[in-house]
Amino acid sequence: MSALYTAVATATGDGRDGKARTDDGQLVVDLAVPTEMGGTGGATNPEQLFAVGYAACFHSALKLVAARSKATISETAVTAEVSIGPVDGGGFQLAVALHAEIGGVDQGTADRLVEQAHQVCPYSNATRGNIEVTVDATIG
């Protein structure tokens, strides 16, 4: 692969409690295990960071495929729900549900755009075949 861009981030601390930052300093966050998983909470966690990244990336992919297909869309939003759960052997696995809200089009067009975005989005391509990812669209 010929990279167009490479993001660099470093996490430090005690396990999942610590800090993470990008090399350019644009993102600096405290990390904590969520209370639902027995942690202290009070800070962000890797699942939230993955959800933000996936939502932003998928939203960009949605805008790209809409422009390519010359679909006139209005207000758009993508919500990513990232769940974590145990798997056999003591590990953990993620699952993602993506919900796109698209204005200015009918349901069939919205569904088509979301499926196309799912084929274009780098996060979707990275997770395909590895974890469960569902996508849906609502019109507004």
- The whole-number pLDDT of residue 26 equals 97
- The pTM score is 0.94
Same domain, 4 and 65: no
Structure tokens at 124: 């979707």
Same domain, 74 and 84: yes
In degrees, rounded to 5, the angle at the alpha carbon of residue 111 between the alpha carbons of residues 110 and 115 is 115
Instruction: Answer yes or no: is pLDDT of 52 > 90.
Output: yes
Structure tokens at 34: 């969520």
pLDDT tens per residue, range 6-30 = 999 999 998 778 999 999 999 999 9
Same domain, 40 and 50: no
H or E stretch including 16?
none
Same domain, 35 and 51: no
Same domain, 60 and 117: yes
- The whole-number pLDDT of residue 14 equals 86
Q: What is the residue range of 31's domain?
A: 1-44
pLDDT tens per residue, range 121-137 = 999 999 999 999 999 99
Count: domains in the chain: 2
Report the alpha-carbon distance of residue 114 to residue 67 in Å, rounded.
13
Same domain, 52 and 28: no
SS3 119: helix
Report the alpha-carbon distance of residue 33 to residue 97 in Å, rounded.
21
H or E stretch including 89?
none
- The whole-number pLDDT of residue 72 equals 93
Report the alpha-carbon distance of residue 15 to residue 24 in Å, rounded.
23
Cross-strand partners of 101: 77, 138
